[in-house]
Chain A
Amino acid sequence: MTQAAPVVDCAACGKAIDGCELCERPDCPTAICYRCLSVALRQASPDLHDHGG
């Protein structure tokens, strides 16, 4: 029997993720996804349009 991966929502964008990108805790109250963390720390540019077009 396989155990379902714990899911938490990114506090910034709401996306469901397996765990916080920074602290890796599945129960992090301020969990953040890879994309939002990269943008917040200016490692990546924010998407110009939500729809990607």
Chain B
Amino acid sequence: MGFTEVYDYVAGILDWLAAGGPIEGTSAGQPRAGDVARGDVPTCGLDERLGEVAARAHAAGWDACVVVNQERVVLGLLRAKELDGDPGSRIEAAMRPGPSTFRPHVPVAELAHYLVDHDVENAPITTSDGRLVGLLLRDDALRAAHGHHQAEGDAT
């Protein structure tokens, strides 16, 4: 077939997608969680105090903060409800530990459907080894899904 260099990606196609590898095909154009997630979401560590973290997040215009370790592996999540807790408490005690995380290749329209259905305002997007890519906001996901749907309609 004329290919001179061929590789076997042993970890499989799902791992390739989860790592953000490029893809081709009919569904390659649809927006994915990793494209829409906000990489500038505030982060904090386990040992910080909630009051300082909440002030930092609010000053940056956020009502959420992702708790990560030094390798940016997600440990927990502070949504609006947690950020409004006791300012003196340690993050480790205040956070939602082990939140559900999603891979960057997940079609944003499908994730938006679940976020609406379950009334969840945001979701952390991570690589398959747990490193933070960004926080996907439900409104961003809906907007991206709607925009793609409209663009597809215009193209036909």
Contact = CB atoms under 8 A, between A and B. Distances in A.
Nearest to B33: A41
Contacts of A45: 14
Is chain B's interface secondary structure helix, strand, loop, or mixed overall?
mixed
B14 A44 contact: yes
Interface in A13-53: 20-25, 28, 30, 32, 34, 37, 40-45
B110 A23 contact: no
Interface residues of A, number: 17
Contacts of A21: 100
Contact of A28 (B96, B110, B115, B118): B118
B104 to A, nearest CB: 10
A28 B117 CA distance: 10
B103 A43 contact: yes
B62 interface: no
A22 B118 contact: yes
Closest 9 pairs between A and B when the two form their complex, measured CB to CB: A23-B118, A22-B118, A41-B106, A43-B103, A23-B120, A21-B100, A22-B114, A22-B100, A41-B110
23 contacts: A21-B100, A22-B100, A22-B114, A22-B115, A23-B119, A24-B96, A24-B100, A25-B118, A28-B118, A30-B117, A40-B110, A40-B114, A41-B102, A41-B103, A41-B106, A41-B110, A41-B111, A42-B14, A42-B17, A43-B14, A43-B102, A43-B103, A44-B14
Interface of B: 14, 17-18, 96, 100, 102-103, 105-107, 110-111, 114-115, 117-120
